[in-house]
Structure 1
Amino acid sequence: MDHWGEIEKLIVARRADRLAERVKALDEQGRKEVAARLPELLKELRGRFDRWDDGLVDYGSALRVAGAGTFGGAAAVASWLYRRDFAPQWDGPDTDVALVLAVLADRPAAWRADLAERLVLRMRVPDDRGMELALALLRETGIEPPPHEPLVAGWVSREPPRSLSDDPLLDHLLPRLFEAQGVGRALQWEKQPQRGWLGALLRAAESGRAKRESLIDGCVRRFLLGGTAIDLRFFVRLHEALDPSPAEAAARARDYLRLLPASPGPVAELAVKRLRACGELGADDLAEAWESLLFRPERKLVRAGMSWLDRSVRRAPELAGLIAAPLASAFAADSAELQEKAVELAVAHAARMTEEGRATLREAIELLPPHLGRRAATAFAGGSVAEAEPAFVPPPLPAAPERAVAFAPPIESVEELVRDGTRSWQAWERRLAGFVALAARDRAGVVAELRPRLIGGPHWTYHLESWDQVDQWFEGATRSLTGTAAAQRAWLRYMPKSRLAAPLRLLLHRAAEILRAVEEDTLPPLLLATPTHSTGHVAAAELVRRLEVIEAAGAKPLAADLQQALLRLPRTPDPEAMRRAARLTSGAGRIVAAWTCPEVAIELEWRCSHGGEDHDWHDRSHHHDVRLVPSATAAPTGLPLVDLMLSVPEHSGDAEHRAWWPSMLPSHREVAAAYLTSHVLRRYWVEDTVGPEQARELARAEGPVGTAFAVVLARVLGDPRLPESVDVLLETAARDELPAAEVGRQTGLLVAGGEVRMIDMIAGLEAAARRGAHAHVWRIAATALPTLLPAPGERPRNGLAAFVALAAAAAEWSGARGEIPEVRAMAARRGGSGLLREIRRLHDLLTGDDGQEG
């Protein structure tokens, strides 16, 4: 009888249900025949699809059923069932488990038990494809599952049986529930005691099928094993649903005590609750519990520990001898509220403390802010600590690094010319200068070296509508020089027609005029605008020397190159260089001789747009789209690109090579900063904003600083990804060039507008204050506070109390005095929140009332 022919037709037709019936009817010889032919059929089916095609998956159920019913050994069946080509892991749970079980039903019990173990040990994750079949076989055979953590997580990842008490796996897997990794994450969303595994386990405990004591012990054991809050969330809920009695808690008191120092917050809270309820703790256990809690970082737990300590000592005054060490830990808390509460408790119970405890607290007083330290000192040191040095003395500002160093010379070889790209403005300037100098000095030699590298290469650049990047223009220049260009007059054809930011337009004009000079064979012997210093400056004497070289060669300087060179001249005049320039006969020489650095006034406005209309920044009801809009006022110079650069148009357009802009305006840093302000605010379609490198280049440039520089510095200072921004602030402050009040105003606006997180701004400012800029940080914070403080009835911003605490610390370190009206008004409000306490402390410090008690 042809068993195989009928089996093959059913597999090809993908009729797994009928196939199961047919396979069960096969005799031993028929099974062997089918088993021998299956690999050949699989190979044939696989050949119908591409390597990456998933069409073979459609035959998976039929192939699995055929193999499960015909292969002889359990190992062979296990391997066949989960071949990757027709049962990939990503294909979801099996839908043919019942059919597979049906064709396995007549196998010997030991054989099926062997298969069950093999399938279990193949599991790697709780949602493994084979989990359903493995669990079903374990339930059918009744064997003890092998120890395998993914199996336990897989068991609980599925809905529990309607009657968990009747599940054969319960006795085997329940003890492992509290030990296997992955169980907590699989059950983290279980919340309802009436549903899911939480409800099933509670019902099993009520019926006696699972021992209540075992479940409580299992939870505590799991807590002691450790894990994240997510890993332990389910076990916390199960433990609380079981609600251990005071007697049950007392029996596990030592375990609960072990959980207090380092377990996740929810677990520690649970332990506190049970320990306080059991009421049978000895003095040593209480001291251990309080010290563990008051040393933790979570404010909620520290407050709970203080409340427990206070009530216990009031009920049993003899316990006062145990509280010094825990309270000393709380003196170092990162919350002024907790420090104040700790001092309050220490003072309240001081009379009952031992001399050893009082000494412990005296040593810890230096951890407190001065106003609390003086209060504690009055109680524990007779007031002598009030004159002690503060716990932290900020260092002086570090010296500013050198503003500029010599710029690297131009590229000097064709090999270097080809290898170096446009990764930075420095590399671009060296490459551009090297190309011009090499071509002017030995055009034939450069062509001979470059042409073999370019001939036959792709010309995709010439298929673009415009060249928006400088390296495209550079390629055009090299191809024009070597005669491999795909188009003539490219300098005219490919200049972008779209709106460009002025610095980008200057960059492209410089590149385009070099391409034109190559085409027209009018390249000068060198460029004028190549920097002489790392800031981007060109020394006046060097600029005049270059003009002399060009004039001696009978050449003409390039127009955009000259205008960029003028923008790079230092602000301080060089009379001797100007006299030399005046002796030149070229028009460029006369321009340089008459040049004085233009003065530019920059204004920056915050605008909020809604419905196509601009609204005042402070009108929060229309605060949808926020923009920074710069404007500039400068006397025209008559040089078109210079005037364009100094005008700062409101709509700057495309911003390619944005990081290069500060180096193009090294004597006008506020103008350069104004261009960058359009890219300071976060936009969902732009991943990167202005970074610390641009801020550092602005800090080392010359010229006045104002609102534009301040907003750039404030923005990078509040970016947690840019810790080096603190160095920029310190460097600017060390040169006495930091507009601290304006940085503070922009800080307040950036935080209020959600552009910068309060916590990140605090971190940056605190780092700066601790490294010597405490006086500057105070001015920044003092100016930001009026914007950040909430109006009456308005909810304070998250982290504002910490910002006020930082302001107070900076004020204290710098000896600041002088009332701030907004701080005074808020300090007069009713309430006892942490923010109000910090505000009152700041107000008292500024007005001379430091809270010292007489």
Structure 2
Amino acid sequence: MTAWEEIRGLIDRRDADAVAARLAGLDEEARKEVARRLPGHLRTLRGRRESWEGLDDHAEALRAAGAGVLPGAAAVATWLNRRDFTSRWSPPYEDTERIMTILAARPARWRADLAGRLVLRLRTWEDRGLELALALLRATGIEVPDHDPVVAGWASAAGALPAPHEDPLFDVMLPRLFEAQGVGRVLQWESDPARSLLGALRTLAARDVTRRQELLQGCVRRFLLGGSVAELRFFVRLHEALEPAPHEIEPQARDYLRLLPAAPGPVAELALRHLRGLDGLDPLDLLEGWEAVLFRPERKLVRAGLTWLDQRVRLSPGLVTSIAGPLALALAADSAELRERALTLAIKYADLMDDEGRAVIRDALGTLPPDLGRRAFAVFGGEEPAGTDPRDGFDPPALPRPDVPRRMPEPIGSVAEMVPLLDDSDDWQAWERLLAGFVTLVHQDREGTAAAFKPHLTGRYEHLYGVHYWNREGMAADLPGGYGHLYGVHHWNRVHQWLVGAACSLTGVAPERGSWRSRLPDTRRLPPPRLLLLHRAAEIHRAVEEDVVPPLLLATPTLTTGHVEAAELVTRLEVIEAAGAKPLAADLQQALLRLPRERDGEAAERAGRLSSAAGRLVARWLSGARLADPVVEMGRSHPEHGYGEAQPVLSLRAPATGLPLVDRMFVDSPRYGDGIQPSWWPSMFPSHREVAAAYLSRQLRHDQWHHMAVRPGRLRELARLDGPPGAAVALVLARLLGNPDTPEAVDILLEMAGRGDLPAAELGGQAAALVEYDQIKLVHLTTALGSAARQGAHEEVWTALAAALPALLPQAGDRPRHGLTGFVELAATTAAWCRARGAIPEIEAMAARRGSSGLLREARRLHGLLTAKEG
């Protein structure tokens, strides 16, 4: 057996250690032979795999062979980094020690060349070849190439070393930590002081003053290079872990000042904190720092900057000549709290300012609201604020005009158009048109429709449904068209399964009859809207089997809201009656639910002339005996099976109608459904939007698993329905307003406000409940409501805020919710725009508390606006 045959056999057995051992005994000629034959065997192995599969199981044996026999360093570097050795999800190689042993026989210069090549081939810090590249760098002692991924990779592994500062690479890598891109992201989540680079560097700094200075200067250098919060987080933590004293900060004070204008928030906070601890800053440096920090958008930074300015001026009154410019910047802040703070400081030091400083402040007063403007005018003079109307400066845009419902497209008219839609779909309009078209075609030409369907069924759904059906005798029978698995499952949970089953029955390929009797799921566990959908689909399947398909469906919407116009419904009944057919039961009940709220006397009179029971029923509904608006009640759920959070839940009550499916919709609590086909639900109750919203509200629970169960489009459809909106509509709208990923909710709020049917007070109450149950964040809700208020819905937003505030304000001694100050500030702003009056007891009590927090200031401002005298 030749050396190559031995090596090939060891590779095929995946024995990398044996490959390495055998290589050690090869002479030069044998090495050349193995090197010549190795690439061809790799192609052979690749040919045995699918194109997407790697050679994970052979990789270490192949790498060992190539490292030992390929002649040039370039060839070995290429071989060791072949992508086809591993699949994309493979872990890093674990053969470093073996490869290093094999390479030990190579000349030193050759290994140094390989080390440099492997380093430059690294693409990221997670590259599989990182460990081998670092090992060769340490072994060869070459100058480390200037390559960011190797620095980030070394940093990611250094925390696991017992003493990183004893690593031969440490002195080279340490200064590069502060320059290489990617290091910060790699280290941003380090948390274990005992096994992290952060802990090791802190320990090193405590022992070595020189290293400490190097680390501090490196952090500042990295901050000045810029980057995102994620990229700089580690260096912020390192800087603060070193706990620099003022005398260490002072030599670099200018650099810290340079960080204030534009560095990410955490870096600017760090710089400001240390600058405030310095006593010897030049007045010009102080002015530069104040102007930089008071111009920033972050409230926390501006608040700290104002405190810094106040402290320094109190210690050195001569600095008062420098504060007018910075205070003018703060007077233009977005936050009412910050504007008030800045004005308070300006008034405090007004007597010490020179004429130029007072003029600067005076020029900045034009942006202040009337209440602050009047305070400033009394001290600084200038132009008296125009009037006392709190709405001065706010010109609300007009609310959008509501859209007129569009007509639904005609039912689908051919089998060729139907076939692409037979797969499951979330488009309720397409499916309603498909159901209507299918029924009409089958009634008009049963044989022709069956012949047209059959070639489309054969093989089309083979992948989806499988190819075999196990009949009751346990024998396997092939089913044409590949629908075997459809009949192998116990229940058909989706509308499209029933329609495919109906097509199989129509064409004669269904392996059984009476599927409509046994394949409905357990109706006790279904959300009622889904139960109605499945009944409609099942009765079409039954009508096809029994050859009693009516000329058309009654419930096919005429408008995109889901409504069926009364006159059109009567016309359809006339067609069915003239054909001597009977309407389908579930279809009729759905059609009744889709009637408009407005009475149509002419249509009722026409229906009364019909002789069928269905005609008489429709006549009674059109004459006023239809369903009353259900009562929607709010409750509170508890975590199911010990998981999840408590949250608002809605239930329904309505008088019985005697129609089983209709009554099931309105006398049962909305069940916790599985989220299948809720996109149909708004169109099923177009005259009772509270009912649709009550059912959709239960689907909101799915959102906690990062799946948006109720999308903006569904909310928009819901908002355009008829019927008095209340707690259920408000709950769904509040949930989407509190989701930062659904900004479309603001447009929907504006649309409802433009129609005059936004349940604003209920919206506030439901939003407060969702915040209480931690289903939405107050800051996100504030952002959405603020946007709506600025676009013309300020009166509706104020009503919502006023309803929410009592539930959100903390009791005495409790900690306020995060974002509550901004929420109360928005309430004060919208109250001013609306000229709202009437004290809110909870706000009055909050305003009476002692303290000077931003929340208390905003509460006092709001209370003052609500209790101010008119005129």
- TM-score with structure 1 setting the length: 0.87
Give yes or no for the alignment of 1:579 onto 2:605: yes
Give CA deviations for 1:355-413 in whole Å, capped at 9, x if unaligned. 44434433433444443333233323357126377575152551431342222222233
Match of 1:602 among 631, 634, 640: 631
Most deviating of 160-169 and 573-582: 160-169
Partner of 1:303: 303
Partner of 1:745: 765
Give CA deviations for 1:49-73 in whole Å, capped at 9, x if unaligned. 998888865772x665665455443
The answer as to whether partners of 1:578 and 1:593 remain within 8 angstroms in 2 is: yes
Partner of 1:495: 520
Cα–Cα, structure 1 residues 370 and 551, in superposed 2: closer, same or farther, change >3 Å?
A: same
Within a 5 Å distance, the mapping from 1:182-581 to structure 2 comes to: 182-188=182-188, 197=197, 215-239=215-239, 249-277=249-277, 279-381=279-381, 384-385=384-385, 387=387, 392-421=393-422, 422-454=425-457, 456-460=480-484, 461-499=486-524, 500-581=526-607
Most deviating of 65-74 and 150-159: 65-74
Cα shift at 1:630 = 0.5
Cα shift at 1:526 = 2.5
Secondary structure of the 1:830 match is coil
Partner of 1:157: 156
Give yes or no for the alignment of 1:176 onto 2:176: yes
Give CA deviations for 1:593-638 in whole Å, capped at 9, x if unaligned. 222232134131313447999xxxxxxxx9964451413122x333
- TM-score with structure 2 setting the length: 0.85
The answer as to whether partners of 2:647 and 2:775 remain within 8 angstroms in 1 is: no
Q: Distance in 2 between matches of 1:602 and 1:167?
A: 74
Most deviating of 1-10 and 798-807: 1-10
Give CA deviations for 1:222-251 in whole Å, capped at 9, x if unaligned. 221111233234434554566667666454
Cα shift at 1:307 = 2.4
The answer as to whether partners of 1:403 and 1:700 remain within 8 angstroms in 2 is: no
Q: Which amino acid aligns with 1:761?
A: L
Q: Which amino acid aligns with 1:663?
A: S
Partner of 2:472: none
Q: Distance in 2 between matches of 1:825 and 1:208?
A: 57
Q: Which amino acid aligns with 1:563?
A: Q
Q: Distance in 2 between matches of 1:209 and 1:402?
A: 72
Q: Distance in 2 between matches of 1:608 and 1:746?
A: 14
Cα–Cα, structure 1 residues 49 and 726, in superposed 2: closer, same or farther, change >3 Å?
A: closer
Q: Which amino acid aligns with 1:326?
A: P
The answer as to whether partners of 2:597 and 2:687 remain within 8 angstroms in 1 is: yes
Q: Distance in 2 between matches of 1:589 and 1:192?
A: 76
Q: Distance in 1 between matches of 2:9 and 2:456?
A: 62
The answer as to whether partners of 2:12 and 2:58 remain within 8 angstroms in 1 is: no
The answer as to whether partners of 1:726 and 1:767 remain within 8 angstroms in 2 is: yes
Cα–Cα, structure 1 residues 209 and 323, in superposed 2: closer, same or farther, change >3 Å?
A: closer
The answer as to whether partners of 1:397 and 1:730 remain within 8 angstroms in 2 is: no
Give CA deviations for 1:459-505 in whole Å, capped at 9, x if unaligned. 23233323222222222333333334333233334333432333222
The answer as to whether partners of 1:394 and 1:774 remain within 8 angstroms in 2 is: no
The answer as to whether partners of 1:123 and 1:130 remain within 8 angstroms in 2 is: yes
Cα shift at 1:652 = 6.5
Q: Distance in 2 between matches of 1:525 and 1:196?
A: 75
Match of 1:792 among 788, 808, 812: 812
Q: Distance in 2 between matches of 1:516 and 1:748?
A: 48
The answer as to whether partners of 1:367 and 1:391 remain within 8 angstroms in 2 is: no
Partner of 2:747: 727
Instruction: Compute the RMSD of aligned alpha carbons.
Output: 3.9
Q: Distance in 2 between matches of 1:377 and 1:96?
A: 78
Cα–Cα, structure 1 residues 50 and 518, in superposed 2: closer, same or farther, change >3 Å?
A: closer
Cα–Cα, structure 1 residues 301 and 497, in superposed 2: closer, same or farther, change >3 Å?
A: closer
Secondary structure of the 1:302 match is helix
Q: Distance in 2 between matches of 1:202 and 1:718?
A: 42
Q: Distance in 2 between matches of 1:12 and 1:649?
A: 64
Most deviating of 3-12 and 347-356: 3-12
Cα–Cα, structure 1 residues 487 and 81, in superposed 2: closer, same or farther, change >3 Å?
A: closer
Long gaps (5+) in structure 2: 459-479
Give CA deviations for 1:679-714 in whole Å, capped at 9, x if unaligned. 244565693333333433333222233322332332
Secondary structure of the 1:628 match is strand
Q: Distance in 1 between matches of 2:266 and 2:706?
A: 39
Cα shift at 1:667 = 2.0
Within a 5 Å distance, the mapping from 1:95-106 to structure 2 comes to: 97=96, 100-102=99-101, 104-105=103-104
Secondary structure of the 1:154 match is helix
The answer as to whether partners of 1:82 and 1:88 remain within 8 angstroms in 2 is: no
The answer as to whether partners of 1:366 and 1:391 remain within 8 angstroms in 2 is: no
Q: Distance in 2 between matches of 1:214 and 1:652?
A: 61
Most deviating of 491-500 and 769-778: 491-500
Cα shift at 1:521 = 3.1
Cα–Cα, structure 1 residues 553 and 627, in superposed 2: closer, same or farther, change >3 Å?
A: same
Give CA deviations for 1:559-603 in whole Å, capped at 9, x if unaligned. 322222222222221122222222222222222222223213413
State, as a whole percentage, how many aligned pairs show the same letter.
Answer: 55
